[in-house]
A and B are shown apart, each in its own frame.
Chain A
């Protein structure tokens, strides 16, 4: 990314805090000024003491005035001490803003995004990449202002020295450029050493990982000794590498100290001489001495900006990767509002997940209102995909999904999703109470909430759970079974009285009797709801008004159970496989 774009990136988060920016800048200068003022006070003290000593009149030493000056400095120091706190506070403000912003972007993404990025990676980008040192939030404020602080300290320091005595200032700061040159020379060697150290470390890690995940092989092949020897080899090599890096680090970091000490030697020699000649006071000499000491840290710090900026910029790129990842499924909240779903139709719908084989291929179907339709077919025949397309989570590459005759995308998305209820195969619940999971942010009357849970056959479970409907789910809350999760997800889906229910194999965990009760209850409470359900159970399938048979992404046939059993091979195969599965269950018990 070009520097100007980076500045733009950083500025976009700073803009709401413009005034803080100015305040911090001023505060920085004040803080540096206070730091630089201290040695000047020393000078005054020493000179006044010397003068008073020389004048045979101790009373001329104005202790009170000195004390007042020091007290003022003290107060200044106290206030300036909070300067890093203000920087840190702004860091946190930025962290909060950046995280919320990127999260908001991520929430809009579709399945391609979630397939491309691993969850752990996304989380790292939303947490450590922003909050860690020296990453984005730190850099955008502290990183930049540290450089300003060090830079201003350097300028004030050298400025003060020049004001005191420009000749001595020139002489004593002469070693600095020379040292900077040596530092620059060593820098490439240092970064090479770092890289080698990284490589060495990852070599060790590779061996450890392979040995631990392949422990069965190691043990089976009696290779423990050999592996241990290999690790030892790697570690011995690493000692050499790390030692080299350590030496370079010390050398590089001592350049600043060398420069300042050499300056101090010059101050002692030349400055001392100047004092003898009356061209300089002892107080000023001491001030020079202290200033040269004070230069060390800022000198070390300014190059830091470049190192930390590299890290921060990499992280910024990673955030933009998330933000800019193209979204294909856009849920627009403009367009006409849907009042009632009369019909959903698929017109030659083709969809594939990753430009490979299509999961749905030229599917043409009509889902009339109020009907119950079962989707059957072998594994990976496109049934779940069909439900996801109907739910608006996937957009077909070819063909159209029409709702009431108009493309799905043309409607106000909110009105569509309010009218459908979707229960995926793997139910996703959140670490909240059961009640909150079911209402899920919508306003649902309490007794209807309980009714929904009752319909999904959760009554007995709720009695057994300690908190009933208020039981909090999650790892430290209560762990519930997969079947219970699914039933809560069903309750969630019906809580807003949907017109269309999309159920992906949601009764697998119920035994035949409970499943019976479930369907009966559901159809009696929501008699007009259109249902698209996927199931493998014959008893469920035969409840449907129509059966859609899928194979390899195509809609092969539609009809009732008897019709299909008579004429459809795919359907018959499906029945046979299911029969064998239940045979196996039977034979095994």
Chain B
């Protein structure tokens, strides 16, 4: 049997640590710098809670040794009050500490998320093509959150355990050194043993996760293949195959579990052993060197609290492991270099009076492999309406990608009046272009906000003008709160046609010179189609447009059609010319539109 999911697991879990732990800590510490005050405050409060926890049993000891032994009734009340005060102070400090450290952690992670988000926007489109939205969301959300928990919960918890441990040991040493020494003599090998044990367990748990992933992939395959399983009568065998995989995981997991709980068992038993040691040595002290009963009680009480931090620590280890893997991924995102910066000396503005846009011998391939565009050359004059046609994969979308400067040509150049567009700042260039894609891509927010894609440098007047241009006023009027109406998930409170109109309006909100449009292929009812055609006409008016055309009307009414096949320009002309020529264009056209539909 092949376990082909192991690799997926490895890369998903980031087992291969990029940065060493030391370097990673080095990168995380600067995140704390703006919060040193809060950190100090938190640590102080933490020390207070630990002190309160150590102090409680001390009051008990005092009560036993002095108040009770001395018959001091008032003293008893005083001690009880002291105990109450200590625990109130401890709890108050604990509450405050959680607030301080949580707020600190939240602020740190918010800043981190903001940084990641902004940085991601500077990355090339190739990065987004390789990393699906789900993965990026996991980076910005879950991985960053895990880091926050590392700071505000785990680190604090560990620190607390450590301080408690040290504090308790110090007090115990002061109270009676011999007893403490004997307890320690047991504790040290115990800690080491626990550490190695847990490392071993981690390996086993990795195996279990892999076996679990095997089950998951098996199920995926077989659930998708249910019809085949039924037709080939493979049902019972499929069930048995699942049983085998189930049992594989079950066996390993059961073993691991007994092993792990065996450790806890040993720990709990050792607590009893520690008590035995304390009683043995302690009773000798009590009868010999005058150790008090109260001190004995103190030791018993502290022993109970000693073992707890050890248990806590080992439970945190696996979380720390995963959190470090998250940190790795977070820093990997932040370290990814921005691939398309502006070139030095890039011009701030694109001239308004340009006349010609040209592709000059442009070649491009996405991944150094097959060429998506091969020596493409064409010219677009200002005000023209150009349609791109061809089979899918022929290069039409690549042309729009290059026009928007999502990618740069590997050979050749795109020029505006002869000037390479690389010479303009990317932002300035993109402001000149209005984009309409096949998928409309709405954002959470109001209609007004969507009309400007959440950009905040566009005035309300510009938005209103854009709506007027595409005659979408009635869409706004129909909505109860007009521009402020919140769009439901995926724009569900708008109809298909209305959503199209909004995307058209959005395209012209900066009043661009050039329009790039990737037509939707879904067919709509005739009424909506007419609306869209009318809006498109208004869209095209006074602008230069390059359209990846799928609609009959769009193709036929274009000034010029460029037919792309396998990255090359194979035919050029208007509809009548190309149809007459009886070449690829005609074959494509006839295939897609039954002859006789040309109205």
Contacts and interface: CB of A to CB of B under 8 A. Distances in A.
Contacts of B268: 77-78, 80-81
Contacts of B225: 428, 430
Nearest to B78: A269
B229 interface: yes
A577 B587 CA distance: 10
Q: State the main secondary structure of chain A at its contact with B.
A: helix
B452 interface: yes
A575 interface: no
Interface string A546-589: 00000000000000000000000000000001001101100110
B121 A203 contact: no
B441 A217 contact: yes
Interface in A68-111: 70-71, 73-75, 77-82, 84-85, 88-89, 92-93, 95-96, 99-100, 103-104, 106-109, 111
Interface stretch (B3-11, B197-205, B521-529): B3-11
A413 B574 CA distance: 60
B279 A63 contact: yes
Nearest to B91: A254
B455 A225 contact: yes
Interface stretch (B157-165, B246-254, B370-378, B530-538): B246-254
B228 to A, nearest CB: 5
A226 B63 contact: no
How many interface residues does chain B have, given as a range?
Answer: 35 or more
Contacts of A79: 265
Contacts of A242: 102, 106
Contact of A477 (B4, B457, B588): B4
Contacts of B453: 217-218, 221, 223, 226-227
A208 B453 CA distance: 13
A229 B243 contact: no
A219 B404 contact: yes
Contacts of A67: 276, 279-280
Contacts of B99: 243, 246-247, 250
B300 to A, nearest CB: 6
Nearest to A267: B80
Interface string B410-437: 0000000000000000010011010101
A43 to B, nearest CB: 11
A86 B547 CA distance: 67
Contact of A82 (B262, B297, B442): B262
B68 A109 contact: no
Interface in B322-356: none
Contact of A428 (B77, B224, B293): B224
B231 interface: yes
Given A272-B67, A417-B231, A441 B223 contact: no
A475 B8 CA distance: 10
A222 interface: yes
Contact of A230 (B279, B300, B304, B454): B454
Nearest to B216: A127
B431 A222 contact: yes
Given A242-B102, A250-B98, A289 B125 contact: no
B286 interface: yes
A580 B594 CA distance: 12
Nearest to A224: B121
B272 interface: yes
A206 interface: yes
B7 to A, nearest CB: 6
A170 interface: no
B190 interface: no
Contacts of B141: 201, 204-205, 208
Interface string B557-599: 0000000011000000000000000011001101100000000
A212 B137 contact: yes
B247 A226 contact: no
Nearest to A99: B246
Nearest to A71: B276
Contact of A227 (B230, B260, B427, B454): B454
Contacts of A584: 391, 584, 587-588, 591
A266 B83 CA distance: 10
A155 interface: no
Nearest to A294: B304
A58 B122 CA distance: 80
Interface in B53-79: 56, 59-60, 63-64, 67-68, 71, 73, 76-77, 79
Contacts of A126: 219, 223
Contacts of A225: 455-457
Given A74-B272, A222-B455, A269 B114 contact: no
A235 interface: yes
Interface string A287-301: 001100100000000
A464 B217 CA distance: 27
B184 interface: no
A585 to B, nearest CB: 9
21 contacts: A70-B272, A78-B269, A81-B265, A104-B239, A207-B443, A209-B133, A213-B133, A213-B441, A225-B456, A228-B117, A232-B114, A239-B103, A242-B102, A246-B102, A265-B87, A268-B59, A273-B73, A276-B71, A286-B64, A441-B237, A588-B566
Interface of A: 38, 42, 45-46, 49-50, 52-53, 58, 61, 63, 66-67, 70-71, 73-75, 77-82, 84-85, 88-89, 92-93, 95-96, 99-100, 103-104, 106-109, 111, 114, 119, 122-123, 126-127, 131, 201, 203-232, 235-236, 238-239, 242-243, 246-247, 250-251, 254, 257-258, 261-262, 264-266, 268-269, 272-273, 275-276, 282, 285-286, 289-290, 293, 331, 388, 391-393, 414, 417-418, 420, 422, 424, 428, 430-431, 440-442, 472, 474-477, 492, 577, 580-581, 583-584, 587-588
Given A84-B264, A88-B257, 16 more contacts: A42-B300, A70-B279, A77-B268, A89-B257, A114-B227, A131-B212, A205-B141, A210-B442, A221-B506, A230-B445, A276-B76, A282-B293, A414-B233, A428-B225, A476-B4, A587-B584
